Homo-oligomer: A and B are copies of this chain.
Amino acid sequence: MATVKAQLARGVRDFDPEFLNRRKWLFSQLEEAFMRYGFLPLETPAIELNQTLQGAYGEEGDRLIFRILNSGQYLESLTDEDWTAARSGQINRFTRLVTEKALRFDLTVPFARYVSMNRGNMVFPFKRFQMQPVWRADRPQRGRYREFYQCDADLIGSECLSSEAQMVALYAEVLGQLGFPSACVRISHRKILSFMAEALGLSSQSRAFMVQLDKLDKSGKESMSTYLTEQGVSTEVQKAWWILIEAQPAPPELLALLLQFSSITQSDLPASIMTELETLTHYIEALRVPSSFYRFDLSLARGLDYYTGFIFEVDSGVKGMGSVGGGGRYDNLTASFGVDGLSGVGISFGVERILDLMIEQNLFGDIPIPAAKVLMATTEPDSMHNLLACAQELRTQGIKTDLYAGDPKPKKIFQYAEARQIPVVAILKTKAERELQFVLKRLTDSAHIQVKPQEIQDWVQGNKPWNTQ
């Protein structure tokens, strides 16, 4: 028989019980928080039509989408000209001819597709959360996988700022519970960024300005200053702008700074911005979010194009670990499907990074894997039916019970129990005709005791002291 090497595809992982148990715990914390805020679950399929995903993530995104080859005689409708064109550079066209489906790339576009498809039967506002894997043909590296979970919550069909405020509260609540006491939601507003661009005389290139701003963390203050000078922004205006960017004060002072900047640059600060800043702060305070947990930071721009209002980014508070979440308000998420007028707010939790961080920071504490509480074994093959009967009795009592089916040497039995993290081994000894005895051994300290079958559960559940004998 021809054999192949057993190996994983690049950038994907197998998951063992320990990892799965931690992920399950994290996801259940998130789920419970979402539901406490009135979000309900939604799931969409792994496979979407190309047309749904095409163009939604920009050119770079398009390249990272995993496409599914059409089935059957998928070359039948192609011509030699199609081949020649593909060979001379038109590879994207060829791809469109041989694929019509692709793997889910994020949860936002499928959500927009879902809302657009079902809007006739939906009552708005609509709230959902979604935790599912996505796939990206990215170059794999530490902490970056080709298959990874995303975790999103969206509220669509309302312009009320109570939504933004509750998203901030949700972040605070969840990250606090998970063990990130120094986490902080940074808040900015796309309309303030547009106002800035205009005030700086860059309104014709506000997108380029936001790209520069988004890179500020990495490229540094000097690079930004050079850019502004190149664009003809005066030193005086730059100085006023840096105060605004670096101050990060609470809204009353922030408003004062904005007005000051507006006056220096002789530009109009829209009244709506002032109202929105005040209202959001008012709402966040009503939700009793600790003031250490959020701050306004006008250096925050966020990469995605579709945001139109408040934007968020969450720092973990763990040094050098960057963002563990982000989101914002959008007005036209469903526009590409021909559905207008649905404003909403979406946030996401970077669950893979949160998982990595929690493991690294030892935040999971004592989450035991769902191992059996006892391993039943016998070194006497003829006693197997008795062993099965005793194991079944324990299971009926709700006790997770494994039964050893391998090589019946004591050493092997204990190796198995250790590998499976089973705390107690019960070995059956048939003393005399019809009289069953078990030797129980606790793995942590090798304490042991001899008991009757019906007594096993007392010791396994810790109701009887191991040290009495």
Contacts and interface: CB of A to CB of B under 8 A. Distances in A.
Interface of A: 1-9, 12-17, 20-21, 35-38, 40-49, 51-52, 54, 63-64, 66-69, 71-75, 80, 83, 86-87, 91, 94-95, 98-101, 103, 112-114, 116-118, 122-125, 127, 133, 135, 137, 146-147, 155, 157-158, 160, 162-163, 165-166, 169, 282-283, 285-288, 334-339, 369-372, 375, 384-389, 392, 395, 398-406, 415-416, 418-420, 422
B162 A388 contact: yes
B45 A166 contact: no
Nearest to A16: B42
Nearest to A390: B286
29 contacts: A3-B337, A4-B54, A6-B334, A8-B45, A8-B48, A8-B49, A8-B117, A12-B46, A15-B43, A36-B395, A36-B399, A38-B375, A38-B400, A40-B370, A40-B371, A46-B135, A66-B69, A75-B91, A83-B83, A123-B420, A125-B406, A127-B420, A160-B405, A162-B388, A165-B388, A283-B384, A283-B388, A287-B392, A288-B392
Contacts of A83: 80, 83
A454 to B, nearest CB: 15
A113 to B, nearest CB: 5
Contact of A114 (B14, B66, B95, B124): B14
Contacts of A68: 66-69, 103
A134 to B, nearest CB: 10
A125 B288 CA distance: 53
Per assembly, the copies of the chain total: 2
Contacts of A169: 392
Nearest to A111: B14
B335 A1 contact: yes
Main secondary structure of the interface of A (DSSP, over half): mixed
A158 B405 contact: yes
A220 B84 CA distance: 54
A118 B160 CA distance: 53
Contacts of A51: 4-5
A85 to B, nearest CB: 11
A428 to B, nearest CB: 12
A75 to B, nearest CB: 6
A9 B47 CA distance: 7
A276 to B, nearest CB: 13
Contact of A101 (B9, B45, B75): B9
Most B CB contacts (10 A, CB to CB) among A14, A73, A169 go to A14
Most B CB contacts (10 A, CB to CB) among A44, A64, A125, A387 go to A125
A291 to B, nearest CB: 15
B287 A133 contact: no
Contact of A98 (B69, B370, B404): B69
Given A123-B415, A162-B388, A288-B389, A116 B38 contact: no
B405 A163 contact: yes
Contacts of A6: 52, 112-114, 116-117, 334, 337-339
Contacts of A122: 419
A437 B436 CA distance: 68
A286 B95 contact: no
Task: List 9 tightest A-B contacts by C-beta distance, closest first.
Answer: A38-B402, A12-B45, A6-B116, A123-B419, A3-B338, A158-B405, A286-B385, A6-B337, A17-B40
Nearest to A146: B47
Given A63-B71, A71-B63, A95-B69, A36 B401 contact: yes
A389 B137 contact: no
Contact of A14 (B21, B45, B392): B45
Given A400-B36, A416-B123, A43 B69 contact: no
A17 B4 contact: no
A69 B71 contact: no
A114 B128 CA distance: 35
Contact of A9 (B45, B63, B160): B45
A451 to B, nearest CB: 20
B384 A162 contact: yes
A9 B67 contact: no
